[in-house]
Each structure stands twice: as C-alpha cells, then as structure tokens.
Amino acid sequence: MPREVRERQMMDAAVRTFGRRGYQAASMDEIAELAGVSKPLVYLYLHSKEELFTSCIRRESRALLAVVAAAVEGEGAAEERLSAGLLAFFTHTAEHPDAWAVLSRQARAQGEPFATEAERMRAEIAGYVAELIGAAAQGPCDAEGLAQALVGAAESLANWANGPAGMLPRQAAATLMSLVWAGLGSLTAHGGDLSK
C-alpha cells in the first residue's frame, strides 16, 4: 500500500479517536488498531502522540478552511457569499463531527501548542468574514470585531447543532444569517455607523 494511503488511514483513525475520546484518553494502541496497523508503524510514520495530534489539527483545519474559502470566493453579493460560507461551514462540521470535535474542543482544551493551531484556523475564517462584512457595510465599521462575534456564534451553533439538537446545516446557516444580516443590513443602510 502506498505510504500516503497508509498515512491517511492512520490520520483518519487518529481524528476519530481524538474526537471521540479526547487527547488524554486516546492511546496510540487504539489508533493503530483502528487503522489496522501496528503501533510501531504509527510511530514510524507519525512519530509521537503530540506530533500526531498536531498533524490532525492542521489537516482538519486545512480541510475546513478549503471548503469555506471555496464557498465565499467569487464576485457575488456579500450577503450571498456569507450565506454560502456559513452553509459550507455547517455542512462540513456536520459531516465531519470527529474533526470538528478535535478543532473546537480538544485542541483548545489541551492548551499550547495545540490551541495556537486551532486559533490560526479561526483567524483565517474570521478574515474571510471581516472582508465580507466590510464589503457589505460600504463604509467604516468594526468589521474585525463583528467577524469575531459571528465566528464565535457559528462555532457555538455548530457545537449545539451537532449535538442532541440535530439541527440541519441549512437550518443552522439560515438561523445565523437571520440573526446577523439585520445588523449588517443596518450597517449598509447607514454607511457603517450603527449609532444612526
């Protein structure tokens, strides 16, 4: 079997294990067994548990960023692009619950250096959102602050929607757009000044 295929199997097993059991409770034995390989092979390919966890965070961050970036790219209206980005975000987190658990809970709960890896992903998503808010406002506004608030709300809603609530991605995206677009529409109408 080619190395990249074997490594992907091990990474998939690691994401599943870390996402369901957490970093501390996960064992390299369990990851190896789930991947169908020996424990020494996991260490040979992916080194230590810490390096494996870091690799999982990076891989899953890249995957989430790629789907959000693809959804918000283009020349459409800011509202449509933001809605598409939210739908892509909620769809990805629903379809990859273990990956989302690694990014949203496990990485941050373990502190450094893992939290920094997750924060990089969050900052990139907030950057996309700030750009869209700036385009919608058509004037000065605190686009970065609003983007941070929106990203935080999206993360919380994804955690809730993927839990017992079982909200569909389209419902989650529509709920958040309903909440934020009225405020963004106010920014557009008043040239970015919410005090009017």
pLDDT of residue 192: 45
pLDDT of residue 158: 93
Q: What is the pTM of this model?
A: 0.84
pLDDT of residue 185: 61
Residue 159 CA: distances (Å) to CA of 94, 97, 186: 9, 9, 28
Asked whether the beta carbons of 122 and 177 are under 8 A apart, the reply is no
pLDDT of residue 196: 44
Burial class of 4 by CB neighbour count within 10 A (0 to 12, 13 to 18, 19+): exposed
pLDDT of residue 184: 64
Domains of the chain: 57-189 (1.10.357.10)
DSSP 93: H
The residues, any chain, with a CB within 8 Å of residue 97's CB and separated by 6 or more, are: 19, 162
Asked whether the beta carbons of 31 and 47 are under 8 A apart, the reply is no
* Mean pLDDT by groups of 10 residues along the chain of 196 residues: 82 94 91 87 84 92 93 85 92 95 89 87 88 76 86 92 86 89 60 45
Asked whether the beta carbons of 158 and 93 are under 8 A apart, the reply is yes
